[in-house]
């Protein structure tokens, strides 16, 4: 099964470099990375070129003009570019542990999408990590226990590992909490619902909209918690000026019946 990892980014070159280091160290190398760039300056392209020269797998830079927050659009553009069977959505500030792709592959299942979790790193530790390029993707549980004691993280629970079992499907129709910083599905299922809906303006709710429509299309929300977390670097809160409007749009979607995005990936295919 061919896997594509779609990594969104915007003008945060140091974080993107830390994330790509994590993918270079993956135990499963049978995947490609698409850097979905929401209008960054040429400095980001330079980072991508550096890692393209180092990576044992393909890295593609997909860029769009900077006219505001358009994560849904750049994810759709990257989804249109790849021909992989399975797609993992994540962000350019989310470092993958070394077994992240391997665990996603192991948990993937027809008729399901995977919703994973994240471990939030503190502001001070994020700054130190990026300055010193600390390879946290290689850390053991003992390393994270020390980090917890030092206040670099607030909890250890997301790092626990549990096998694939029935508990992963106890909330098959739950859309709340699923985020595109750690969400994966078969590409055919994503195309069936026309990808993400670009009707949302600014930050917020477009990932919930996608999950609602995937469930409505008959897919099961399978949890990837306690198996495939990401290490989320601290960042300032995004501009939320459009959040209330987006919440109203999502409420309308929850009472509707459609499965396909109004403005989706089909415009790029």
Instruction: Give φ, ψ of 56 to 5 degrees.
Output: -85, 10
In the 8-state DSSP scheme, what is residue 200? S
Output the pLDDT for position 1: 97
Report, as ranges of residue numbers, the positions in the chain whose pLDDT lies below 70.
238-242
What does the block give as tokens for 173?
A: 């129709």
Cβ 107 vs Cβ 164: under 8 Å: yes
Q: Over the stretch 164-178, which tens digit does the pLDDT of each residue have? A: 999 999 999 999 988
pLDDT digits (tens, 9 = 90+) for 191-210: 999 999 998 877 778 999 99
pTM: 0.96
**Which parts of 55-122 fold into alpha helices (H)?**
71-81, 100-107
Give pLDDT, residue 47. Answer: 98
Q: Which of 71, 50, 1, 52 is nearest to 30 (CA)?
A: 1
pLDDT of res. 242? 67
Q: Which CATH class is domain 3-268?
A: alpha beta
The H-assigned helical ranges of the chain are 13-24, 42-54, 71-81, 100-107, 123-132, 141-149, 187-192, 206-216, 243-254
């Amino acid at each position: 099964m061919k896997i594509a990892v779609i990594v969104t980014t915007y003008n945060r070159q140091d974080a993107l470099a830390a994330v790509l280091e994590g993918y270079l160290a993956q135990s499963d190398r049978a995947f490609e990375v698409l850097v979905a760039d929401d209008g960054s300056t040429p400095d980001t392209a330079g980072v991508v070129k550096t890692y393209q020269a180092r990576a044992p797998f393909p890295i593609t830079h997909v860029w769009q003009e900077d006219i505001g927050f358009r994560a849904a659009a750049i994810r759709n553009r990257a989804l249109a570019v790849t021909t992989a069977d399975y797609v993992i959505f994540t962000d350019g500030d989310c470092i993958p542990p070394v077994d992240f792709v391997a665990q996603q592959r192991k948990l993937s299942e027809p008729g399901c999408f995977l919703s994973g979790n994240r471990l939030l790193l503190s502001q001070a530790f994020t700054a130190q990590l990026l300055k010193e390029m600390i390879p946290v993707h290689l850390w053991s549980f003992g390393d994270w226990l020390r980090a917890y004691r030092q206040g670099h993280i607030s909890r250890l629970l997301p790092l626990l590992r549990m096998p694939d079992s029935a508990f992963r499907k106890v909330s098959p129709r739950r859309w709340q909490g699923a985020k595109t910083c750690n969400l994966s599905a078969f590409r055919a299922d994503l195309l069936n619902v026309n990808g993400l809906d670009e009707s949302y303006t600014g930050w917020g709710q477009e990932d919930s909209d996608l999950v609602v429509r995937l469930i409505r299309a008959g897919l099961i929300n399978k949890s990837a918690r306690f198996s495939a977390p990401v290490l989320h670097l601290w960042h300032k809160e995004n501009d939320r000026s459009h959040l209330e409007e987006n919440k109203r749009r999502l409420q309308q979607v929850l009472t509707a019946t459609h499965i396909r995005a109004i403005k989706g990936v089909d415009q790029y295919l």
